[in-house]
């Protein structure tokens, strides 16, 4: 079985850093191990090193700058996240958009460093052009549903099916779907519609019992992938 891809974006919630981030990451690690499914967590840059020491999860940055070494105050380079222990990064999240030339440059640099990449986009029309840049995956998220509790897989299923059709034009690029994913059923439906996995943030980061939420997501993702094969 090809495992489903579960990406949890920590964003900048109160529990996205410090001791609380370690605590939530350990809970996610437990589920990842119990189910034998790798889970990606995209964390604030300040937490990459610490979390890479504490947990066996796939750690991503949430953004990288495409500038090269030099006088660029405040920049976070692909080289820096790799040195800190990240395996990859999100790029172009709706909340951290960058230009197309910056996506291209960042992807080239990340590939040369052996870093994985997930490019976020907000419409299916952009799936094919961005897939041609050969990221590891594309994460499609209609911005109006992000953080809404209304799942893309239920509210806009056609976004997923169209994105899946588009990504198939470029072999080797995975398609993830996100925005408003709240329940295991939302995850199941996204994968049934053809996504290789999901991206999620608020349903986990704002949960009273994040472990239970992630477990429900993972169990449903496995069920959906099994059924598809």
* Position 201 contacts ligand 13P (CB under 6 A): yes
Q: Is 158 a catalytic residue?
A: no
With H, G, I as helix, E, B as strand and everything else as coil, classify residue 88: strand
Instruction: Give the Cα separation of 140 and 152 in Å (integer).
Output: 9
Q: Of all residues in this chain, which one has the CB nearest to ligand 13P in the complex?
A: 202
With H, G, I as helix, E, B as strand and everything else as coil, classify residue 13: coil
Toward ligand 13P, which CB reaches closer, 79 or 206?
206
Tell me the window of 17-25, 98-106, 108-116, 179-187 that interacts with ligand 13P (CB under 6 A): 179-187
Supply the minimum distance, in Å, between the C-beta of residue 156 and ligand 13P. 13
Cβ within 8 Å of residue 61, ≥6 positions away: 42, 43, 45, 48, 76, 81, 86, 88, 89, 90
To 10 degrees, what angle do helices 210-228 and 18-35 make?
Answer: 30
Q: Taking a C-beta distance cutoff of 8 angstroms, is the pair 65, 105 a contact?
A: no
Tell me the window of 43-51, 63-71, 103-111, 201-209 that interacts with ligand 13P (CB under 6 A): 201-209
* Residues 128 to 167 in contact with ligand 13P, rule: CB under 6 A: 141, 146-147
Identified binder of ligand 13P from the candidate list 179, 214, 218, 221, rule CB under 6 A: 179
Number of residues that bind ligand 13P (CB under 6 A): 14
Query: Which is catalytic among the residues 141, 158, 166, 211?
Result: 141
Instruction: Give the Cα separation of 100 and 120 in Å (integer).
Output: 12
Q: Could you tell me the end-to-end alpha-carbon distance of the chain, in angstroms, rounded to an integer?
A: 8
Toward ligand 13P, which CB reaches closer, 70 or 185?
185
Identified binder of ligand 13P from the candidate list 27, 199, 215, 220, rule CB under 6 A: 199
Query: Which is catalytic among the residues 63, 93, 166, 215?
Result: 93
Q: Is 141 a catalytic residue?
A: yes
Q: Taking a C-beta distance cutoff of 8 angstroms, is the pair 75, 61 a contact?
A: no
Instruction: Give the Cα separation of 15 and 152 in Å (integer).
Output: 25
Please return the burial class of 52, using the count of CB atoms within 10 Å of its CB with bins 0-12, 13-18 and 19+. Answer: middle
Supply the minimum distance, in Å, between the C-beta of residue 59 and ligand 13P. 15
* Residues catalogued as catalytic: 93, 141
Interface residues with ligand 13P (CB under 6 A) are 9, 93, 141, 146-147, 178-181, 199-203
């Amino acid at each position: 079985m090809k495992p489903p891809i579960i990406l949890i974006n920590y964003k900048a919630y109160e529990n996205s850093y410090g001791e609380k981030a370690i605590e939530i990451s350990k809970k996610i690690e437990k589920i990842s191990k119990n189910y034998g499914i790798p889970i990606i967590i995209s964390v604030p840059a300040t937490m990459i090193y610490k979390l890479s020491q504490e947990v066996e999860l796939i750690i991503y940055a949430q953004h990288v700058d495409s500038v090269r070494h030099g006088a660029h105050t405040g920049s976070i380079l692909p080289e820096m996240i790799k040195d800190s222990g990240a395996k990859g990064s999100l790029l172009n999240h709706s909340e951290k958009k960058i230009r197309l030339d910056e996506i291209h440059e960042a992807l080239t640099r990340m590939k040369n460093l052996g870093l994985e990449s997930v490019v976020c986009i907000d419409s299916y029309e952009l799936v094919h052009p961005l897939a041609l840049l050969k990221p590891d995956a594309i994460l499609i998220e209609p911005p109006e549903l992000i953080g809404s509790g209304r799942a893309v897989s239920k509210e806009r299923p056609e976004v997923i099916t169209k994105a899946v059709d588009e990504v198939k034009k470029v072999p080797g690029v995975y398609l993830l779907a996100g925005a408003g994913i709240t329940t295991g059923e939302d995850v199941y439906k996204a994968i049934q519609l053809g996504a290789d996995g999901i991206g999620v943030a608020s349903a986990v980061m704002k949960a009273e019992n994040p472990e239970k939420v992630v477990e429900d997501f993972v169990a449903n993702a496995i069920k959906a992938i099994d059924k598809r094969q």
